[in-house]
Chains A and B, each alone.
Chain A
Amino acid sequence: MQFELSPECEAFRREMQAQLRAMVPADMARRTRQRVHPTKDDLKLWNRLLNEKGWAAPHWPQEFGGTGWDPLLVHIFEEECAAADAPFPSYFGLRLVGPLLYTFGSQEHRDRYLPTILSGDIFWCQGFSEPSSGSDLASLRTRAYRDGDEWIVEGGKLWTTEAHFADKMLLLARTNPDVRPQRGGLSMFILDMNAPGVTRRPVITIDEGHSVNEIFFDSVRLPADALLGEEGEGWTYAKFLLAHERITNAHVPRNKRDVRMLRTIASEECDGGQPMVERPDIAEALARLEIDVAALEWSVLRELNQPSGNPAIASGLKILASEIQQRITDLAVDLVGPAGLVFYDEAAIECDDPAGDVADYVPGLAARQLFYRATTIYAGSNEIQRGIIARQAFGY
């Protein structure tokens, strides 16, 4: 063990800070602060701007379009993106499909899809969960049948984030009902969201925003080359992705930004003329969050620097991070007091500055607090993570 931040790291941070802040348009930064769900336009534009610099996917290997930075530099970069109020880039292409393709995909698929993910021209969604299969993902019922060279898909998906503006879906489907799903029964496909037979229905969440969807497949025909990797390997790929997802979902850069924001809010909001930050209970809650975010950050840095390959570690990160995200937004709403009651329509936040005579950070806070109830549910619920830890760490 040896801990020192090299001068190069600090120079890199300063460089990125300057460049990224100049790159994020002011209105995009405001939307990022105020909206719970980013708009497609912002995601697309930001992806393009990053790609022009060669920074769209710093975490990918260099041969596929990554930057070649070590994990610490990537982390610093992501932190500066968050600090500049850049939108968190659309997750599914960059974090799921990309790594899946360069790890398991055919050369043809890599050539076709990786560049369009980097450029932000093609948006993806993740079609795993179904109405009856959430935690028990392997029980999913969507079927893909062979029909000559082609495939026919029947069934449906639920909770599909960003499916309303995605061009492609990473689809997990049952291809062989005669073997266990985990033993060759599932395969992964690339599905065109505009193919005949695909319908999408918005599912509005309790924040009254639209990010998730229900998708129906009515005899959707897929070409032979829609199969991703090997037939029957769907479960292997899904497990590979879920492990990835748990680390990214630690959202350290975003949590650090949000907890800094908390301090700003606590200094600006007053309770009877006294800044909230001077109230002992607020000072303590704030300190606890800052300390917990520091713990989370160091756990993530440790894992990035020296991957344990231990699922119990990744699950622990997911639990801590999701609980921190909820506590941050809970406290943020407490800080603004009765203003936390007010409902702000996301559509209004999209068009113009809805804040009026309230502070810039108020719109969107209450909605974010509500939507973040989902952080302990999605990406593998915290109950499921605890089960994994008990199994992996103790054999129970």
Chain B
Amino acid sequence: MHHFALTEEQRMLRESAVRLFEKTTPKWSDFAEMGWLGLLIDIKRGGIGGTVADAAVLAQAFGHGLVAAPYVTVAGLCAPLLCAAPATETLDGVIAAIAEGTQVVALAAGEAGSHYGLSGHATQAKSLPGGGWHINGAKAIVVDGGQADVFILAASIENERLGLFLIDADMPGISRRTYRTIDRHDACDLKLENVSLPQERLIVEGDLASELLHASVDRANVLLAAEAIGAMEAAMALAAEHIGTREQFGRTLSSYQVLTHRLADMHVRLEHARSMLMRGLAMLEAQPDVRAAAVSATMVHVIEAGEFVCGQAIQLHGGLGMSEESQVGQYYKRLRAIGRTYGDARFHLNRYIAHASADAA
């Protein structure tokens, strides 16, 4: 039985987020204090043990509040990924540090030319005779990686199987180039030259690693969809308010039906996108093929709706929507960024097609 309404805990979670974002520009330590960074971490390992749906409620509030923080990356992607890997002491330490807000972790999977694909890594891990690893290669556009202390690195082991490694940003042989993204997040490129890792830094390998990576990125995609929904809601509200007050030709803009119908279309797109968010959440535990198709279906819908809703929110604002000082443009940019973090609408449409028979079944 599906329950579409928020639980009592989720309502409280949302309210506490809205309250925090109204007050100030929140700090990372605030998120730790509220328990949000450990939301998807087991209680035994220092977290809260919440559900992905709980995290989605929070992500939506982040989107609505236009909070430029790597919340989804750290708490929604990396934390549950690490939790799902076979436990080691090193991993436990990193997981606890995420929950405490003392370490930021990012996923370094993409490479130049890999587009949004998650397999076929040119970065190589060589196993050393006495145990341990040597890593060589380069990673490109690691989203939210600018301030990361630790990376989950995808590399090819002996050119035959995927390995996920845990590397510290300050290890010898790693150089990082940090830059800004259009939505005021950060990203980085990494160069890895003969980076030596102890054996236990390989956290998972082979098919297991591949499935863990895909499942984790799918979860992150759905959480980004939730963030996008929050951003769309806010942008639409701003547009509605604007045309209700702005006058041209001696009438409020809301007296022009073309503009109110545009708002109506935005509303329709947003509501279907919201449904697809819920469907995506419901399918996260399905078998991999079904999950892949469902999550990509969600992303196609949400990304295209977001482009329309936030783009038209700018259009309804006229020139004002183009100003960097106005909020609608910031929502638009966040939407654009979400729509190319782990795939754009075209990528997800193709991915859906590749897995579609599974989803339709």
Contact sample, A vs B, 25 pairs, CB 8 Å cutoff: A134-B318, A139-B248, A159-B319, A204-B323, A204-B325, A205-B329, A206-B323, A206-B330, A206-B332, A212-B322, A270-B115, A273-B113, A279-B350, A334-B344, A334-B346, A337-B347, A341-B183, A342-B182, A370-B336, A373-B321, A373-B322, A377-B314, A377-B318, A383-B259, A386-B258
CB distance from A342 to the nearest CB of B (A): 6
Interface string of A200-227 (1 = CB under 8 A from B): 0001111010001000000000000000
Q: Which of A260-287 contact B (CB under 8 A)?
A: 269-273, 279, 281-282
Given contacts A338-B141, A370-B336, 6 further A-B contacts (CB under 8 A): A136-B250, A205-B323, A206-B333, A273-B120, A281-B349, A373-B322
Q: Which of A368-387 contact B (CB under 8 A)?
A: 369-371, 373-374, 376-378, 381, 383, 386
CB distance from A191 to the nearest CB of B (A): 21
Q: Indicate whether B256 reaches chain A with its CB closer than 8 angstroms.
A: yes
Q: How would you classify the secondary structure of chain A's contact residues: helix, strand, loop or mixed? A: mixed
Q: Indicate whether B254 reaches chain A with its CB closer than 8 angstroms.
A: no
Contacts of A369 in B (CB 8 A): 336
Contacts of A374 in B (CB 8 A): 319, 322
Interface string of A41-61 (1 = CB under 8 A from B): 000000000000000000000
Instruction: Tell me the complex Cα distance, A132–B187, Å.
Output: 39
Q: Indicate whether A296 reaches chain B with its CB closer than 8 angstroms.
A: no
Q: Which of A121-160 contact B (CB under 8 A)?
A: 129, 132-136, 139, 158-159
Q: How would you classify the secondary structure of chain B's contact residues: helix, strand, loop or mixed? A: mixed
Known: A134-B318, A134-B319, A374-B322. A383 touches B180 (CB 8 A): no
Q: Indicate whether A343 reaches chain B with its CB closer than 8 angstroms.
A: yes
Q: Indicate whether B337 reaches chain A with its CB closer than 8 angstroms.
A: yes
Interface string of B174-192 (1 = CB under 8 A from A): 0000011111000100000
Q: Indicate whether B21 reaches chain A with its CB closer than 8 angstroms.
A: no
Q: Which residue of B lies closest to A337 (CB)?
A: B115
- Asked if B258 and A270 make an inter-chain contact with CB atoms under 8 angstroms apart, the answer reads no
Contacts of B259 in A (CB 8 A): 383
Instruction: Tell me the complex Cα distance, A355–B70, Å.
Output: 26
Q: Indicate whether A340 reaches chain B with its CB closer than 8 angstroms.
A: yes
Instruction: Tell me the complex Cα distance, A337–B118, Å.
Output: 13
- Asked if B324 and A205 make an inter-chain contact with CB atoms under 8 angstroms apart, the answer reads yes
Instruction: Tell me the complex Cα distance, A272–B114, Å.
Output: 5
Interface size of A by Cβ–Cβ distance < 8 Å?
46
Question: Which one of A338, A370, A377 lies within 8 Å of B116 (CB-CB)?
Answer: A338
Contacts of A129 in B (CB 8 A): 319
- Asked if A136 and B325 make an inter-chain contact with CB atoms under 8 angstroms apart, the answer reads no
Q: Which 5 A-B pairs have the closest CB atoms?
A: A206-B329, A136-B248, A271-B115, A204-B324, A338-B141
Q: Indicate whether A295 reaches chain B with its CB closer than 8 angstroms.
A: no
Instruction: Tell me the complex Cα distance, A369–B340, Å.
Output: 14
Known: A338-B116, A343-B180. A377 touches B346 (CB 8 A): no
Q: Indicate whether A339 reaches chain B with its CB closer than 8 angstroms.
A: yes
